Amino acid sequence: MEEDFYTIAQVSEVIGAPKHMIRRIIKSGLVRNVQRRTNKYRVLNSEQVELVRTLYYLHRGGATMRDLRKYASLEYAGDVTIAERKAILETKKRQLWENLKDLQAAIDHIERKIEVMETTSKS
């Protein structure tokens, strides 16, 4: 059975990441064995797309390039690193939930200030 391949534009559409970010992830060597078609377009298989998706969201969540390199190398090391990869993802998830709580508190405060200002300006 023939494997499906996806261009950077298709990957961008599927995962909602900008094309320049996908190119950056690929060019930095985080995704191995990316093929090029005769038209010079890079194409990724399904596993590579999933790795790009994970790296993109880790990056969006504040992971550094060093963190991304570590995660990608663990991914390529195979199933023996599942526990370590899961720990990285769990830690990042906890950090994101904390950030979300902080952001919600800031939004709540700003909404209260706006309400006070609207009430004051109507007087």
- Residue range 58-83: mean pLDDT, rounded: 96
- Residue range 62-91: mean pLDDT, rounded: 96
61-99 b/e (C-beta count within 10 Å ≥ 16 → b): eebeeebbeebbebbeeeeebeeebeebeeebeeeeeee
Cα gap 59→71, rounded to integer Å: 11
Q: What is the pTM of this model?
A: 0.85
Instruction: Work out the pLDDT band at 78, boundaries 50, 70, 90.
Output: very high
User: pLDDT tens across 35-68, in order?
Assistant: 999 899 999 999 999 999 999 999 999 999 999 9
Question: Is pLDDT at 123 greater than 90 in this prediction?
Answer: no
Q: Mean pLDDT in the chain?
A: 94
